Amino acid sequence: MPDVTISIWTAVVGFFLSFLAYFFKKWCPSLYVYILTAILGIGWIVYVFLDQGFIKTVPIFFIFVFSFFSSPVPERSKVQLQEIIDQLKEQGAREIVLSKNKERLLVDFLFSGLFIVIAVLYFLFGPDSPITLILLYSFVSLVVGLTKRVELFRALRLFYAEHEEVLYAVSLFETKKYPLEELSEVSVQTRPDVLQLFQLFSLFSPNMDYTTSMGKTWKLSFSGEKVYFTPDPSESMAFLLKEEIHKMEEVEVKPFYHQNNWKRLLGKWYFAATVKGVGAYAALITLFTLMGIGPIVTTIVMVLFWIFNLWISDRVLKIALDMKKIDDPDLLPIIEKVFSRAGLSHVDIYVTESAEYNGFAIGANIGRSLVALTSETLKLPHEAIEGILAHEAIHVKKRDVLMGQLLRFLLIGLVLAGVFLFYKDFQNWLEHAQIFVFLSLWLLIFLLPAFQSLFTQWMEVRADHLGATLLDGGNAQMANSLTILCEYQDRALEKSAGYYVTFEKEQEANKKDKKISSLERDSWFFRFLEFQFMSHPPMYWRVHSLQTTETGWSIGKIKLWWCSRFRESLPN
């Protein structure tokens, strides 16, 4: 493992050079700036190489690249913030004054602080292990996120262009426009729900959090995105209340420290520390290291802790994702029919709020499983929802969540055991073959997701075809369900991508009007990546396999997927 101090300094150097490049571009041609930063960056990596050796330099190099490109510099655009604001004012856009209070910013620092402290303690007292790199990645991400929040709090400006009926959010990092014709829902909260908005407390893509105070918060639901902001109480927001808006309500939100939120806060902290990251594991390892407990006992405790987290995963995620049981009277008969046919009448179905289209199964066993759909998925036609539920019902019935975790654990265990045994038997030789060791380790890292995708893709294909047996329309209905899901997903992605604005290129981008389609067969390289490394086969292939085969599951379909996995990965 690379030296922790050197790794942290590498991240700092990456940040510094990124900011240096940003400021120098104001006075120097971009080519000269690129050459200067490249020379300084190469100089630092050479210094690290001379100090740490080849093997340790490689992960440090990736730390440098990650920190350089993720550093929170303003948008690299020819149009500066003030120029954008001037353009909007010239067009007659009305500025919406925002309510600003530092208490809102302090909440983000408080939530991030615990994870940053855990990382720092591990860097100081924990042993060298792969967790070090994971924590460093999380540490850099949190610092970047906090920096952006501070700058957003300081410089965010909102404008409403009445002639366009567009809401603009302008900041140093990006400018986004939200056409009100895409607005589907408006609600007002008594305060921002920070337990929902904080980046580590969400499983899905984060919401657009423009909140700058702990006051009344407006929540706008656009296609593919939810936007939160806190206008000044004196501001009139009547322009948002169109006839097309089918829901307008004021929701009371309790402070995150209110006793009614204690269980929710604990669940979200636990989720962030064990599911989204390794903070809980790092804290335990650090504690055991300070107590002088040996690596064997520590490893046993970590494995038992992992099994415990797997066992309670359904309850943790239910709390962390703010799930609610589906009570739609139109959907309940569909749910009952699908899960009764699967022999799973006791499985609960929940909904979690998200602008993404998704459904997933949770839980280590049939008796401790549930199925969750996102709120956006419930807007699909009922025929498509029925197909998604049938797919997830098979995951529950076949215990795919448990099997997937066990297989992942087994693969990692086999790799670590193999490396340990090989190192033990050939230690002297390996010390003189660092290039071989480096290539072997990175080959293993490269192949791990490929081996894992063998099992996960098989489970997904099986869920498609066995799920079709639970539907009245069989394969045709399942194929249609996936098609509808893709069409809605692609449309939401197009809309979300279209919210980003670069003023000088906006008209040109609109003319191109590039369409996103997951149902089209992509170039061979992207097919190769999806078939060999992703957890799901490409959607075009899943739909095609359902449309061209009979309803049911058989060895023939396994062969079809296996052959396609390699045939579709080759150049046309």
Give 226-232's long-range contacts (Cβ < 8 A, gap of 24+): 226/355, 227/167, 227/169, 227/178, 228/192, 228/197, 229/98, 229/158, 229/169, 230/98, 230/99, 230/104, 230/192, 231/96, 231/97, 231/98, 231/99, 231/158, 232/96, 232/97, 232/98, 232/99
**What gap in Å lies between CA 449 and CA 126, rounded to an integer?**
27
Helix-strand-coil split of the chain, %, nearest 5: 60, 10, 30
Q: Which of 225, 376, 386, 392 is catalytic?
A: 392
**What gap in Å lies between CA 284 and CA 267, rounded to an integer?**
18
Name the amino acid, one letter, at 245: I
| Token reading at 70 | 């993720």
Q: Under DSSP, is residue 161 helix (H, G, I), strand (E, B) or coil? A: strand
User: What is the side-by-side order of every strand in the sheet holding 183-189?
Assistant: 208-210, 225-229, 217-222, 183-189, 248-251
- For residues 172 and 75, the answer to whether their CB atoms sit within 8 Å is yes
Q: Exposure string (b/e) for 525-542, b if CB count within 10 Å is 16 or more?
A: eebbebbbeeebbbbbbb
End-to-end CA distance of the chain: 41
| 392 catalytic per annotation | yes
Would you please indicate which residues are annotated as catalytic (active-site) residues? 392
